[in-house]
Chains A and B, each alone.
Chain A
């Protein structure tokens, strides 16, 4: 079955460490997105990519980095420059007017 997979489901990071969240899709979707969600809040866009080897900053890109070397993959790195990284991270993909498909999310906690 086609879908979008995020891993790991739970991730713990020490302060000052970089961590990378994985997002893979086999839907043949062109566009991919990363969102952050804090408790009781809506989703905020971090980065998005419309095609391979190209990506744009969203509303809260500071402290994050991405790459899009393959159509299927859009990893997100949370760097030590992100001062408040504890959150729920959601990856999504889309093609044309088709609605987004979301992954099940990664919950990142700084310890």
Chain B
């Protein structure tokens, strides 16, 4: 499984967009990029995933570069409740195991 690299921490002002980067330079052609977040002492929550194309859902947008070596998770209007650790993971289909890195601790400040 390809490994991912994320900054350990980021700050974002409430109401602004939060852009969380992830490098996955060794990703293979059939590996998906998944994003999860974990609020303290809870189970991780699925956010979004994608293969090649940019994806958007009610929670976030995922931008994947054309060479697929990096991606960005965008929370368009961050709120205080978005404060969490965000994990970027690559995963083989159809049921490949998720290998978590250290993640990015996002702090949304008023």
Contacts and interface: CB of A to CB of B under 8 A. Distances in A.
A33 B32 contact: no
B95 A100 contact: no
Contact of B42 (A41, A97, A104): A104
B32 to A, nearest CB: 7
Main secondary structure of the interface of B (DSSP, over half): loop
B44 interface: yes
A102 B45 CA distance: 7
Interface string B16-55: 0000000000000000101010000111111001000000
Nearest to B46: A99
Given A42-B102, A42-B103, A99-B34, A48 B97 contact: yes
Contact of B101 (A30, A42, A102, A105): A42
A104 B43 contact: yes
A20 to B, nearest CB: 19
Interface in A31-76: 31, 33, 35, 41-45, 48, 50, 58-59
Interface residues on A, range: 20 to 34
B15 to A, nearest CB: 27
A35 B44 CA distance: 11
A100 B46 contact: yes
Interface of B: 32, 34, 36, 41-46, 49, 87, 93-95, 97-103
